[in-house]
Amino acid sequence: MKLCVVTKSPLLIKPHKSAKQVKLNDCYTAGQQLLYYYIFAWQGSVTEICILHPSIVQTARPSILDSPIEYLKGVGPLRGDMLKKELGIFSFRDLLEHFPLRHIDKTQVSPIAAITPATEFIQVAGVLVQVETIGEKYGKRMVAQLKDKTGVLELVWFQGINWVQKMLEPGKEYLVFGRTGFFNGRPQITHPELELLSAQTMDGKSFLEPVYPTTEKLKARSLNGRQIGKLMAALLPQISERDIAENIPESILQQLQLVSRYKAYCNLHFPPSVDAYDKAVERLKFEEFFIAQVRLQLTRLERHKQSRGVVFEKVGDLFNDFYANHLPFELTGAQKRVIREIRLDTAKGHQMNRLLQGDVGSGKTIVALLCMLLAADNGCQSCLVAPTEILAQQHYNGLQELLKEMPVGIKLLTGSTKKKERKIIAEGLMDGSILILVGTHAIIEDTVQFKNLGFAVIDEQHRFGVAQRAQLWKKADIPPHILVMTATPIPRTLAMTAYGDLDYSIMDELPPGRQPITTVHRFETRRASVMDFIRDEIAKGRQAYIIYPLIEESESLSYEDLMQGYEQVKSYFPEPAYSISMVHGRMPAEQKDTNMQRFVTHNTNIMVSTTVIEVGVNVPNASVMVVESAEKFGLSQLHQLRGRVGRGSEKSYCILLTGVKLSNDARERIKIMCATNDGFVIAEKDLELRGPGEIDGTKQSGALNFRLASIVNDKGLLDTAKYFAEQIISSDEGLDASPNLPLKNYLIAQKGKTVWSKIS
Ligand code: ADP
Ligand code: MG
């Protein structure tokens, strides 16, 4: 867009980090609408232009919040520097955004004798006696005793000893706050917050006093958690409603009875009551979710507008022929729905980028196949990328079987495909005779070129990275539609936040006739009876998996475990009556395939394996899954493993073997596994147990950087925020209606903090 910017009156509106000069300008755009622009200029050349609406221009004025922190009363250059270095607080705004850790009731001073092992935090007052540094090097620490009428409390510092030592004045009376613990039977506080006790400390006006995060160095500069509160107390009266402009439309605030942004900030820091604090927190949590949801909706909208996609305009002969004559079963309602969603999405002219979540065994493969036939009907080639060779091979065999009476060229390409075969594949891809290419990541390599790639399925990995996606894009003039099928359901709230800018489909229905898998927990001491059980199942013609934890394929210790386990299994199931397959990551690919194949074709009764078979493998005749050392596995992994059985119509069992000693977390995981087969429920529990930061691939996603809100504890609020965000965007995607302008202005001011999803 070419801007015709007319300078009206040069005005210094807003100091900007790199802006020497800030001018207010106006101009007419093609739409004849009068708009205003901020021009950020650096040494004469324009660096950034923001479009503003008149309403913000009226309120635009230098905000006190942009003042450098050293100008705040009580700070000055020295402490200012420390605040910058230690906490990244550069301006008044940064300080305002420094949220309290907690509030303490100042009037509550407890006697030291009241501390019990059950006490968590405590505030006591006493005389500081005997300060000494003990230990050497890494064990070095400083210990002081605080004495009141009832007893003695030990105060310990491991860090910042030099600073703290300078500050402490033995013999004086201190007010001390901190988390209590017991050491050698004596109560102590490590890294306490403390301040000299004075008449003033004891008659604070605020009932709930904020305590802020700080560092040892700052504490030594008289900026402990409570003293930062004094700075905050100096700051807040200088701020007015205009400095903390509202960013949520008035109607939403009213409907949800949320307090204003300004009030929320005031009460977050200095709440007049617990209730006022809770209201402030609720408002700010909602704001976090709401702003994030609005952003995600906008990103998604933008992507739909910008990304050109192949148009699959018709359902043709291949699809119809297969559907009518070769589909081995009736599709489930969920499968039909998802195919419809994909059909509609690929007909729109924008590139589809869809995440298909379906629990293990819900039948994702057939959905992928039907979509690939849809692509073929529209003159496009497809590829299906699987995470492992075993899985790629299995998909290839399965699809080939399904398509055997159809005129659809299909080939397999993996790392171990021979040169000669590669050449044949390369030709078939270029002349268009291969319509479906199944394989591993080998497909993504630049050397693999298609005539007309229009559809790419990525199976069992929701971490298909941006770089890999880009590589796929390069294979066609118009980027192919992408369907990512997940190995494990993603918790609903995570899907709404970390993956929220994607389109997603859910398959929450299993094919009919499946019996629920019975899951039990057994201690290793009862292994013999478990083996007896396997023997009974084998007698009925079934097969069994026995899985060992080989977390890192290079861990030799676990490798030994596996080998020992294998010998043990062999002794329970001697040849020739029984035969056993073994698969592990150290095996050459060919041997792996042969062994796997022998199990698939029922030439062996038992598959002893590491988690290489974790995802996707489909042997419907297998009815028992034994997981050795199940306590070492995470929930989603256990669920994936269990998903290998229960794929046929026979009753299946999953037996989780563990040691006798279990951590609380492990016990909880096992309990959940025994209680439910529902992958969506398990995903939610997993999120609760591990926390959002630990879930694969989302750590750096930025979408979860909520300061107050939590996708685990504030689910309801997230739903509400999503609902309102959708309402607003669907009725006013440009956010141009006047009630939405504050929101628009806020988003513009926050621009640059875009959310990038980790997946395609
Ligand atoms: P996943 O979603 O775990 O990838 P698969 O696609 O491997 O599941 O399907 C699991 C099994 O269910 C396969 O044997 C498949 O043939 C079968 N299946 C899929 N859809 C149906 C259906 N609608 N009715 C009956 N069986 C089905
Ligand atoms: Mg699968």
Same domain, 135 and 265: no
Task: Supply 143's token pair.
Answer: 């210990």
Of 585, 607, 581, which is closest to residue 595 (Cα–Cα)?
Answer: 581
Contacts made by residues 326-332, CB under 8 angstroms, sequence distance 24+: 326/402, 326/403, 326/405, 326/406, 327/366, 328/402, 329/511, 331/363, 331/366, 332/362, 332/363, 332/507, 332/509, 332/510, 332/511, 332/512
pLDDT at 700: 46
pLDDT band at 617 (very low <50, low <70, confident <90, very high): confident
Task: For residue 508, give the ligand nearest its CA.
Answer: 1
Of 519, 545, 653, 532, which is closest to residue 605 (Cα–Cα)?
Answer: 545
Same domain, 177 and 200: yes
CATH number at residue 540: 3.40.50.300
Task: For residue 461, give the ligand nearest its CA.
Answer: 2
Average pLDDT value for the chain: 83
pLDDT band at 107 (very low <50, low <70, confident <90, very high): low
Query: Does 423 map to a domain?
Result: no
Same domain, 43 and 113: no
For residues 443 and 437, what is the distance between their CA atoms, to the nearest angstrom?
A: 8
CB-count exposure of residue 127 (10 Å: 0-12, 13-18, 19+): middle
Please give the average per-residue pLDDT across 117-133, as a whole number: 88
Nearest alpha carbon, ligand 1 atom 25: 511
Domain total in the chain? 4
Of 53, 7, 56, which is closest to residue 34 (Cα–Cα)?
Answer: 53
CA of 364 to the centre of ligand 1 (A): 7
Same domain, 663 and 739: no
For residues 164 and 194, what is the distance between their CA atoms, to the nearest angstrom?
A: 10
Cβ of 740 below 6 Å from ligand 1: no
Query: Does 233 map to a domain?
Result: no
Query: Does 30 map to a domain?
Result: yes
Query: Does 226 map to a domain?
Result: no
For residues 158 and 139, what is the distance between their CA atoms, to the nearest angstrom?
A: 8
Cβ of 361 below 6 Å from ligand 1: yes
Same domain, 114 and 49: no
pLDDT at 523: 96
Same domain, 199 and 252: no
Same domain, 670 and 569: yes
CA of 460 to the centre of ligand 2 (A): 6
Same domain, 292 and 194: no
CA of 493 to the centre of ligand 1 (A): 27
pLDDT at 9: 32
Instruction: Provide the residue type at 52 as one letter.
Output: L
Cβ of 618 below 6 Å from ligand 1: yes
- Is the Cα dihedral 727, 732, 735, 736 positive or negative? negative
CA of 504 to the centre of ligand 1 (A): 20
> Angle 131-135-140 (CA atoms, 0-180°, nearest 5)?
80
Q: 167 lies in which domain range?
A: 108-204
CA distances from 368 to 345, 457, 641 (A): 14, 7, 22
Same domain, 658 and 710: no
Same domain, 169 and 287: no
Cβ of 511 below 6 Å from ligand 1: yes
Cβ of 360 below 6 Å from ligand 1: yes
Cβ of 35 below 6 Å from ligand 1: no
Query: Does 27 map to a domain?
Result: yes
Query: Does 621 map to a domain?
Result: yes
Same domain, 666 and 558: yes
pTM for this prediction: 0.71
Query: Does 598 map to a domain?
Result: yes
Q: Domain boundary at 155, 176, 204, which?
A: 204
pLDDT band at 461 (very low <50, low <70, confident <90, very high): confident
- Complete DSSP assignment for 449-465: --SSEEEEEE-S-TT--
For residues 476 and 470, what is the distance between their CA atoms, to the nearest angstrom?
A: 11
Max Cα–Cα distance, the chain, nearest Å: 95
Pairing of strands 193-196, 173-183: antiparallel
CA of 645 to the centre of ligand 2 (A): 13
Query: Does 152 map to a domain?
Result: yes
- Complete DSSP assignment for 473-520: HTTSSSPPEEEEE-SSPPPHHHHHHTTTTSEEEEE--PPTTPPPPEEE
pLDDT at 757: 30
pLDDT reading at 42 higher than 90: no
For residues 194 and 204, what is the distance between their CA atoms, to the nearest angstrom?
A: 16
Q: Domain boundary at 642, 676, 710, which?
A: 676
CA of 623 to the centre of ligand 2 (A): 18
Cβ of 365 below 6 Å from ligand 1: yes
pLDDT in tens, 502-524: 788 999 888 888 888 999 999 99
Of 662, 725, 723, 712, which is closest to residue 686 (Cα–Cα)?
Answer: 712
Same domain, 743 and 621: no
